[in-house]
Amino acid sequence: MTLPALVAAVAVLVGLSPVRVRAVVSAATGAVEHAPAQAALVERVGGVRAEALMLAIAVRESHLRVGVERCRVVGDQGRAVGLWQEHATGKTRDALCALGASAQARVALDHLAYCAGRSSSLEGIVACYAGRAEGHPIVADRAHLARELAGAP
């Protein structure tokens, strides 16, 4: 899927303006450009573009809401912050909240690469990232959405 098509598909999915979606896509793309080896590992193991997987996770975790990005809304009893709902504390949490989508995307890609190094499939990466078993519905949903956004079967 081309970048404009990806933005349009996600905008329709979450009911947000393409401008907002483009900002998050830009953050994910920037993370991939910043760490191409990590992105390549995620793509090799998962079989989908790293940006598509990152967007699938952010869409389901935060619905790309600005309040979540800025940490005004948090999850998991306050432990999960940012668009990708990373568990962070102390200075790391403060930095993620202050620096916004770009920093959050880099941390999410680091986490996905860590998971890809311990997995043999897209479902394995998502399960590791989400802290769930591979057969869990959350894992299946995010893996399916990543494939859909990537234009893969």
Neighbours of 118 (CB within 10 A): 10
| The pLDDT of residue 8 | 87
| The pLDDT of residue 119 | 96
Rounded Cα gap, residues 110 and 86, in angstroms: 11
| The pLDDT of residue 78 | 78
Predicted structure pTM score: 0.92
| The pLDDT of residue 146 | 95
Mean pLDDT by 10 residues, the chain (153 residues): 83 90 94 97 96 95 94 86 90 88 95 96 97 95 94 63
Which residues are bridge partners to 75 per DSSP? Answer: 80
Q: In sequence order, what are the residues at sequence separation of 6 or more whose Cβ sits closer than 8 angstroms to the Cβ of residue 97?
A: 70, 71, 81, 82
Q: How far is CA 107 from CA 48, 75, 103, 150, in A?
A: 19, 17, 6, 21
